[in-house]
Structure 1
Amino acid sequence: MLHCLRPSQAGTPQNFHPHTLPFQGNSADITSRSGSQASQTLSLTNEYTSALQTSSYSEIRVFLDIETERPGEISQEQLLSQVLRPNREFVDEILQHAKPGFVTDLLWSFFDHSENKARLCLKLTQAIRRVRTLISPLDDLLDILPLDSETDSLSSPQCNRAFDLLLKYEQLENPFPDPESRNVHGMRHCFSDLNSQLESLIKKSNSRIRYVHWVTYGSALCLIGTIIGVLIAGIIIAKHAFIALAASTCLPVFIPSKVEKVEQSRLIQLDAAQRGTYVLHEDIITIERLVNHLYNDIEVNKRFIKSGLWRGKDMHSIMEVSRQLKRTNIYFQKQLTDLEEHLCLSFAAINRARAHLIYLIKLHQGDRS
């Protein structure tokens, strides 16, 4: 079952150990950097750019092609650690320094959901490989069978081979998730729920910023009015008394500016998380549609084969079933390719969203101090 919100205590990982980070350098290099805000921003920008470059479509294709060509040589979690940028360890190390609360929980949830989606994309990529492995012999046979003419017939070996491969197709377990299962639908629900919560929090944050603007503006007007009143009344105030009055009057002007800075940095992070969530949610809808089509096509083919082979190794039945599969195979293969390419693009979108948000979190961590 998918968990749509991560508990607050997850923000403090236990037994945390040093590790290699997905950006250039390691965590100690990043967290120990000192200097001006400009140098920090430049450093983070370089790391962010590096993350985007390593998250490219071409690199992800390479990793997935390796898994496809040499299945079983690398586990799913190992492959995930190679293609997911920034990875879980890097995210944990950054967010463990974030202030506990509902906002941080939502940021945790975004990274959890995006990681779960990447894991789903891997499973679907492996499903595509299994489908191609299972039906490739049948596809090869269909290409050489004399199916284009009604007068042609199959030899006995061809008939037996076609029957065996069609029966294998009919008996295969569908590698794609059932549209009624929660594999994809449940994840789409989690992204939708997270998107709604982020939108609500963004509205509240905007309201707080407007309130701070109003307080700051009111304090400024109050200060101006006080000074004008003192000048008009012609009251001569001792120097130390005037300083005390000005300081006490200006205090509300400077305090809201600090509050506003913190709220603005929070809003920037929430907005990035919401935009990323929205993009990944829409992408899940596309994946769900593509997967459902493939699942249904396989089920339709299985039922058609079963109904066509009820008479056993009847040559005419085998030829009719083979002709139908050959006609639909071109479109089916195109759907497999479309899904495969879309999954690579999904990985790239996941990595862009994760890298951008972690960049903003790290950039604004100093705003709380």
Structure 2
Amino acid sequence: MLYCLRSSRATTSENIHPNQLPLQDITSRSGSQSSPTLTNEYTSALQTSSYSEIRIFLDIETDQSTHDQLLAQYLRPNGEYVEEILILQHEEPGYDSFITGLLWSFFDHSENKARMCLDLSQAIRRARSLITPLQDLLLVLPLDSDSDSLSSPQRTRAFDLLLKYEQLENPFPDPGSRNVRGMRHCFADLNEQLQIQINKSNSRIRFLHRAAMSFAVCLILTTVGVVVAGVVVASHALVALGVATLIPVCVPSKIEKKEQYRLAQLDAAQRGTYVLHEDIITIERLVNHLYSDIEVNKRFIKSGLWRGKDMHSILEVSRQIKRSNVSFQKQLTDLDEHLCLSFAAINRARSHLIQAINVRRDDSL
């Protein structure tokens, strides 16, 4: 197993904690359509109740201690429900521990990605608290005029806020850290593992098709030979022949049905993994740009204020920060909106996989 796949999980009935949220509620709230990208469903996502709910809860100021409580409420299906479903699958005949392990990994990775969305929402809030006081001051300073004069209180206030900006820690993760990049690699590795299993499953289904066809052809040829030879003419022999015709066809058909069920799970997990992997690439790009912009501004402030409260230096630095802040605010908004769409995509992907797993309860094999 890959380092970021689920290494172990207790799968005994004692670990089951029933979830009161029914599947119908999960699927109705999370949507019923999938898409390889988030771009094409941007407009429809904004109109759903799930987006509104996610928008509200991402705006809540939280810390790590409250993340579990929020995820239990807004992650659909939540961890308890997923655990119950997969433990029930573990107890079914024909249980495949490796494939179920891949499904566990998908749910784990998607939950970790939801936690990342919460963390980045808090980072956006910290970034806005960092820039807002300075932005408010820059709006009233005479930076767009030809005058190079500031009042003493303005100069002092600008210097203090610029210095505070330069000294505060960057709220976004370093591009070299494993926060986002490591998660992207985990989704990529899981996608590869799922694709391998999908290919194997498709190969088994094709083999079962060929086996069923071979059985049927052989049986037809044998029957024709027997009839032509005039060996079997009694009615009881014909009945036995009819039963014999069904045996080789029904057995591969039942095995194939189980394989199709397994393939549906793998396919749902792989499609969800692909969507979330592509989405995290966008998040990584947005986060890296924001981190870099803050670092560039901090270096510019540090180099520009080395002479202390020099008026010309403060004016030059303030003008630069004001110009760059327009793009910075736009990027914050883009990331903020994308995190809402990302959380909605997580819920859809999880719900689609749960639907694929629950098919077996409605169609007993």
Q: What TM-score, normalized to structure 2?
A: 0.88
1:175/1:47 CA distance change after superposition, 3 Å? closer
1:73/1:10 CA distance change after superposition, 3 Å? closer
How does 1:1-369 map onto structure 2 within 5 Å? Answer: 4-7=4-7, 9-12=9-12, 14-21=14-21, 23=22, 48-52=27-31, 56-65=50-59, 67-68=60-61, 71=62, 75-98=66-89, 99-365=95-361, 369=365
**What is the CA–CA distance in structure 2 between the aligned matches of 1:324 and 1:158, rounded to whole Å?**
17
**What is the CA–CA distance in structure 2 between the aligned matches of 1:83 and 1:19, rounded to whole Å?**
13
Contact 2:156 2:309 in 1 (8 A): yes
**What is the CA–CA distance in structure 2 between the aligned matches of 1:13 and 1:152, rounded to whole Å?**
74
Q: Deviations over 1:296-353 (max 9, x none)?
A: 0000000000001111111111111001000111110000000000000000111111
**What is the CA–CA distance in structure 2 between the aligned matches of 1:199 and 1:18, rounded to whole Å?**
31
Contact 2:283 2:335 in 1 (8 A): yes
1:217/1:292 CA distance change after superposition, 3 Å? same
Q: CA deviation at 1:231?
A: 1.4
Contact 2:30 2:344 in 1 (8 A): no
Q: CA deviation at 1:3?
A: 5.1
| Unaligned runs of at least 5 residues, structure 1 | 25-43
Which of structure 1's runs of 4+ aligned residues deviate more than 6 A? none
Question: Secondary structure at the residue paired with 2:159?
Answer: helix
Contact 1:205 1:263 in 2 (8 A): yes
1:4/1:74 CA distance change after superposition, 3 Å? closer
Contact 2:191 2:270 in 1 (8 A): yes
1:47/1:125 CA distance change after superposition, 3 Å? closer
| Unaligned runs of at least 5 residues, structure 2 | 33-47, 90-94
1:263/1:130 CA distance change after superposition, 3 Å? same
**What is the CA–CA distance in structure 1 between the aligned matches of 2:183 and 2:198, rounded to whole Å?**
22
1:8/1:212 CA distance change after superposition, 3 Å? farther
Contact 1:265 1:367 in 2 (8 A): no
Q: CA deviation at 1:50?
A: 3.9
Contact 2:219 2:245 in 1 (8 A): yes
**What is the CA–CA distance in structure 2 between the aligned matches of 1:217 and 1:199, rounded to whole Å?**
27
**What is the CA–CA distance in structure 2 between the aligned matches of 1:272 and 1:169, rounded to whole Å?**
46
Contact 1:55 1:348 in 2 (8 A): no
**What is the CA–CA distance in structure 1 between the aligned matches of 2:63 and 2:357, rounded to whole Å?**
37
1:254/1:294 CA distance change after superposition, 3 Å? same
**What is the CA–CA distance in structure 2 between the aligned matches of 1:55 and 1:193, rounded to whole Å?**
33
**Number of residues paired by the alignment?**
344
**What is the CA–CA distance in structure 2 between the aligned matches of 1:321 and 1:138, rounded to whole Å?**
12
Q: Deviations over 1:221-268 (max 9, x none)?
A: 122112211211112354444444543453221100001101111111
CA RMSD of aligned residues (A): 2.2
Q: Deviations over 1:116-161 (max 9, x none)?
A: 1111011001000011112211110011111112324111111111
**What is the CA–CA distance in structure 1 between the aligned matches of 2:49 and 2:179, rounded to whole Å?**
25
Contact 1:55 1:352 in 2 (8 A): no
Q: What TM-score, normalized to structure 1?
A: 0.87
1:144/1:295 CA distance change after superposition, 3 Å? same
Contact 2:26 2:76 in 1 (8 A): no
Q: CA deviation at 1:362?
A: 0.7
**What is the CA–CA distance in structure 1 between the aligned matches of 2:156 and 2:15, rounded to whole Å?**
60
* Partner AA of 1:358 in structure 2: I
Question: Secondary structure at the residue paired with 2:76?
Answer: coil
**What is the CA–CA distance in structure 2 between the aligned matches of 1:177 and 1:14, rounded to whole Å?**
39
Q: CA deviation at 1:112?
A: 0.6
1:74/1:58 CA distance change after superposition, 3 Å? farther
Contact 1:219 1:253 in 2 (8 A): yes
